Amino acid sequence: MHFVNGANRLPAAILRSPVTWGSIASLAFYAAIHSGTLHGAFVTRYFGSHPVEYVATSAFFVGLAALMMKLIEAVRQLLLVGNPLLEEPPVGGQGLEDCQHLLDELDSLPPMEKNTLLVHRVRAGIEHVVRNRTADELEDELKYLADLDAERAHENYGLVRLIIWAIPILGFLGTVVGITLAIANLSPEALETSLPEVTAGLGVAFDTTAMALGLSIVLMFAQFLANHFEQRLLAVVDHRTGDELLGRFAKSAPQEHPELASVRGMADAVIHATERLVERQAELWKTTIDAAHEQWSHLSGSTGKQLENSLSAALDHGLQAASETLSVGAERLTASQAEHWERMQKQLTAAAEASATQQQELARHGAMLADVIQATGQVVSLEDALNRNLSALSGSHNFEETLLSLSAAIHLLNGRLGQTGLEKPHIEIDRSPREGKAA
């Protein structure tokens, strides 16, 4: 996490660095010179004729960028320093318990106003009151903070002071180099031919010194202007910080003993710590209860889901088993019905065959009965014929022989009727005429 924050702060630090903007300005300046946008003997002579001039000019742009950034920041904060930061204190002053509310008010400011020297100073004063649990030494603390900001502002000009000191040194270095070149090119034997080279070397020496001194003077005036606005900003911040904080908090009673005040402060600190501890414990309890409630909800949901899945699986298994049982029962019932219908079909077939056999027997008995009836009719006709013949033969002399023949015929007829199983008809032979005749 710290590595990520450092990686995010690195581009911002590069953009806020005066070296970055000074290098960009120097590159743009020399690009304009070499491209012909800035041309002239003066520019070429004092800025582009020797490497020392390049270095001094680049250092000048870095220092100028630092001063311009400080001047712009001071002017920006001067424009914002008049805005009110905190609400008006109540009559009698505010208590120590209101410090957190005041810090929250500072945090709610827009980012442009929050990142100012005034807001940092006011925040440091409120934190001092919170830390010491009293506002008795707030005025001394504000003076100490003002001194720290003044020292910090003076230290921030270290790079500019170094550049203002280094540019003349670079000019003198160019002077030394130029004089060295002039002396090296000086030849007593050929004084007239070496004189232009000597003059050129001396020109480089004096030009670099003049250019360096001129750039140093410009930077010194720019430093004065930036320092003036920054000192004015510090003065306004001191005044506004006093207006915002001095008299806002209720101080301890003057007649109170210092040791008693210290004890009171420790007691207030203990009370405040106890209150914070109680609040923290309540938050922990609330967090624990919420976590337990969430866990219970999750557990209830998971248990209900598991129960639902178990019931669904059990119902599916039961329905499947019932379906299989019904299927087996249906198959068994179908097989039983098939066997029952097959038995009934066989019985009906047997009954039909028996009925056909009985019908054949009835037909045979009917035919036999018809034959019997026909034979009976023939027997009756024969009986009548016999009775007539007996009547006719009753007066004849051979009656005995005829009677024997007739008895034989009757016996023969009875034999045939006995074979049919029917009731034998009764044949009566009338002997009355014979007996009369015999008499």
Q: How large is the average pLDDT for residues 38-67? A: 82
For 70-118, the pLDDT digits (tens) are 999 889 888 888 777 777 777 767 777 778 888 888 888 888 888 888 8
Whether 29 contacts 53, CB under 8 Å: no
For residue 3, the model assigns a pLDDT of: 37
Residue 362: Cβ within 10 Å count: 10
For residue 287, the model assigns a pLDDT of: 84
Is 267 contained in some domain? no
Closest CA to 26 of 58, 56, 53: 58
The Cα–Cα gap between 153 and 160 comes to 12
Count up the domains in the chain and report the number: 2
Is 355 contained in some domain? no
Whether 234 contacts 149, CB under 8 Å: yes
Is 308 contained in some domain? no
The Cα–Cα gap between 23 and 59 comes to 9
What confidence category does residue 225 fall into, taking pLDDT thresholds of 50, 70 and 90?
very high
Query: Does 23 have pLDDT greater than 80?
Result: yes
Query: Does 370 have pLDDT greater than 70?
Result: yes
For residue 218, the model assigns a pLDDT of: 92
The Cα–Cα gap between 133 and 97 comes to 10
Q: How large is the average pLDDT for residues 410-423? A: 65
What is the full DSSP assignment across 277-331?
HHHHHHHHHHHHHHHHHHHHHHHHHHHHHHHHHHHHHHHHHHHHHHHHHHHHHHH
* Residue 77 to residues 66, 82, 281, Cα–Cα distance (Å): 17, 9, 43
Residue that wins the pLDDT comparison between 52 and 233: 233
Is 85 contained in some domain? yes
Closest CA to 87 of 105, 112, 100: 105
For residue 255, the model assigns a pLDDT of: 46
Closest CA to 409 of 396, 393, 427, 394: 427
**Residue 94's beta-bridge partner residues?**
249
For 348-366, the pLDDT digits (tens) are 888 778 777 877 888 887 7
Is 153 contained in some domain? yes
Residue 178: domain span: 2-251
For residue 1, the model assigns a pLDDT of: 40
**Residue 249's beta-bridge partner residues?**
94
Tell me what the pLDDT averaged over the chain comes to: 76
Query: Does 30 have pLDDT greater than 80?
Result: yes
Report helix, strand or coil for 88: coil
Q: How large is the average pLDDT for residues 220-247? A: 88
Is 434 contained in some domain? yes
For residue 259, the model assigns a pLDDT of: 59
Tokens 């001396």 belong to 202
Tokens 């953009």 belong to 15
Query: Does 434 have pLDDT greater than 60?
Result: no
Is 193 contained in some domain? yes
Whether 379 contacts 416, CB under 8 Å: no
For residue 217, the model assigns a pLDDT of: 92
**Residue type at 422?**
L
Residue that wins the pLDDT comparison between 237 and 256: 237
Residue 123: Cβ within 10 Å count: 16
Q: Which of 251, 278, 306 is the last residue of a domain?
A: 251
Q: Which of 203, 224, 251 is the last residue of a domain?
A: 251
For 122-147, the pLDDT digits (tens) are 888 888 888 888 777 888 888 888 88
Residue that wins the pLDDT comparison between 321 and 216: 216
For residue 45, the model assigns a pLDDT of: 72
- 81 phi and psi, to 5 degrees? -70, -15
Is 325 contained in some domain? no
The Cα–Cα gap between 385 and 391 comes to 10
Q: Which of 221, 251, 281 is the last residue of a domain?
A: 251
Q: How large is the average pLDDT for residues 257-280? A: 73
State the pTM of this model.
0.51
